[in-house]
Amino acid sequence: MPPTTLINALTVDVEDYFQVSALAQHIDRASWDSRPCRVEHNVQRLLALFERRDAHATFFTLGWVAERYPQLVRDIVAGGHELASHGYGHLRASEQTPEEFREDLLRAKGILEDVSGQPVLGYRAPSFSIGYTNPWAFDVLLETGHRYSSSVYPVKHDHYGMPDAPRFPYAARPGLTEIPVTTTRMFGRNLPGGGGGYFRLAPYVLSRWALRRVNRIDRAPAIFYFHPWEIDPEQPRVPGTSLKTRFRHYVNLDKTEARLDRLLGDFRWGRVDEVYGLRAA
């Protein structure tokens, strides 16, 4: 399929390698501050790549990261990118009570806005952890001043997923838009097409095909995501992990940056708030 003129939404989940949910059982949260932090360097590499490709993105950033690396947050905003929330400490929404979730949202939003001087409108739950068991999370997001969420992935997965959820933006609550990560519809089911591990592990042509199909067949912009640690093949290896976890986390780390560069050239990219008309008044 030839390229389209649609602008797609490029998103980055700003967390470090030791904060990934799949590694949580092997890494004590109390050890985070003592571990070599690589997120700052990796995000700077992404900012340079985006500038070279004239691409803009939304950075769903942990409050924990913003608190320790405030200049990084300012650099993101100075580059013309949108700053959004990934919560404070990468806790799954589904593992919190409504009160704990509200506290986490307000803490992260407050830090991000204080550091950047910009309003934070968007949120993405760690591990796409808003689903069938916690629809109340949308109410809390609305109460805490968020205008949109990108926390639902309408696929079947062993860690997350709402395969019956709408594939395209919808009103989760009046005043709150949910923007699901992109899928393509084939053989009566939703197939992942919005990045993450699928982009890194599968051949690049599959991601390109899926995104072009959404642009041309569905006539809709896609929303794509990845993490800074996915361009870092030299990150420390976490001992004691299963073969499955090692495969998911470490395979093709040395290829992802080149794939991203290619992706930025094959499609047009912008911020979530601009692509979906959600900018602050």
pLDDT digits (tens, 9 = 90+) for 186-238: 888 898 899 988 999 999 999 999 999 999 999 999 999 999 999 999 999 98
Minimal CA–CA distance to 104: which of 78, 79, 76, 123? 123
For residues 268 and 219, what is the distance between their CA atoms, to the nearest angstrom?
14
Environment class of 23 (CB within 10 Å of its CB; exposed 0-12, middle 13-18, buried 19+): middle
pLDDT single digits (tens) 125-149: 999 999 999 999 999 999 999 999 9
Query: What mean pLDDT is predicted for residues 52-59?
Result: 98
Predicted confidence at residue 159, as pLDDT, reads 62
Is residue 58 a contact partner of residue 147, using CB atoms and an 8 Å limit?
Answer: no
Predicted model pTM? 0.95
For residues 144 and 276, what is the distance between their CA atoms, to the nearest angstrom?
21
Q: How many other C-beta atoms can be found within 10 angstroms of the C-beta atom of residue 244?
A: 10
Q: Are strands 148-149 and 170-173 parallel, antiparallel or unpaired?
A: unpaired
Is residue 51 a contact partner of residue 73, using CB atoms and an 8 Å limit?
Answer: no
For residues 224 and 232, what is the distance between their CA atoms, to the nearest angstrom?
19
SS3 state of residue 93: helix
Minimal CA–CA distance to 29: which of 113, 97, 95? 95
Q: How many other C-beta atoms can be found within 10 angstroms of the C-beta atom of residue 7?
A: 18
